[in-house]
Amino acid sequence: MTTRLGTGHRQMLNKVPEVTVFFWIIKILCTTVGESLADYINETLGFGLTNTTILFSVALIAALVVQFRLDGYVPGPYWLAVVLISVVGTLLTDNLTDARGVPLWVSSTVFAVLLAGVFTLWYAREGTLSIHSINTTARESWYWLVVLVTFAFGTAIGDWTLELTGWSPGASILISASLITAVLVAWKLGLNPVLSFWLAYILTRPLGANIGDFLSAPRSEGGLGLGTLVTSVLFLAAILATVIYLTVSRVDRTELRHTRDDEPAPDAHR
């Protein structure tokens, strides 16, 4: 159902899924694919950073055109956009680090400032950062911009952390997993739900990347040696299976669910 607001903006059903356990599972799957698939196309197939970035950027633009034309959340187009934006976000950081020689602490700082700026502008214009209110084209635009920057920032801060610690791919998973657990505990103790969501959303990027590195890295480097292709195929298959389940079950449709206990009243988003 679509209506027109007095300002001329299109009013839609919420364009993003309900935050269930499936949301976090598929989000981590997407971030792992973002890391492994980008590495496979860039390094194994030899496309190079520039060509790989152009390829996935064009695909992302096409996916977002489809996504923006929809009047509500549809699992297939939505999660396809997330997969592609995870790859593009990874490539943004890789281009700065590998092609331009920008230190990871610099790119981490730049993306952190950019992310804070986008959040500030989004809140100033819309009065909320809640993903339960992505029901206009303007809010959806802010949402996807934030998602792109979170992937770039998560890639930079994750790689920088590994650079500082020198941990193996397997051990590095513990860093992100511990931080996500801390956010979960803080949310249970009363941390603002919107803040909790975005903190966890950012942290799942390095977690997924670390999982991808652990699975694909050679055993001599502390990984399982599956390679980037096998890792990408396995996780893409898992994403597809989850998307099919969500399409059939409709368990993550916001408009079909009652207000959840962790959802504050509308005024609490302001």
Q: Domains of the chain: which residue ranges?
A: 14-260
pLDDT recorded at residue 263: 43
- The reported pTM is 0.85
Taking the C-alpha atoms of residue 179 and residue 164, their distance in angstroms, rounded to an integer, is 17
Amino acid present at 23: F
Residues 6+ apart with CB under 8 A from 6: none
What are the Cα distances from residue 233, in Å, to 36, 69, 174, 205, 222?
9, 29, 24, 19, 21
Mean pLDDT by 10 residues, the chain (270 residues): 46 82 92 84 84 93 96 93 92 88 93 96 93 91 95 87 81 88 95 93 88 85 86 92 93 62 39
pLDDT recorded at residue 265: 37
Question: Any idea what the Cα angle at residue 211 is, between residues 238 and 197, rounded to 5°?
Answer: 80
pLDDT recorded at residue 10: 56
pLDDT recorded at residue 8: 41
pLDDT recorded at residue 127: 92
Q: Are 41 and 168 spatial neighbours (Cβ–Cβ below 8 Å)?
A: no
pLDDT recorded at residue 222: 76
Of 233, 193, 237, 194, the C-alpha closest to 216 is: 233
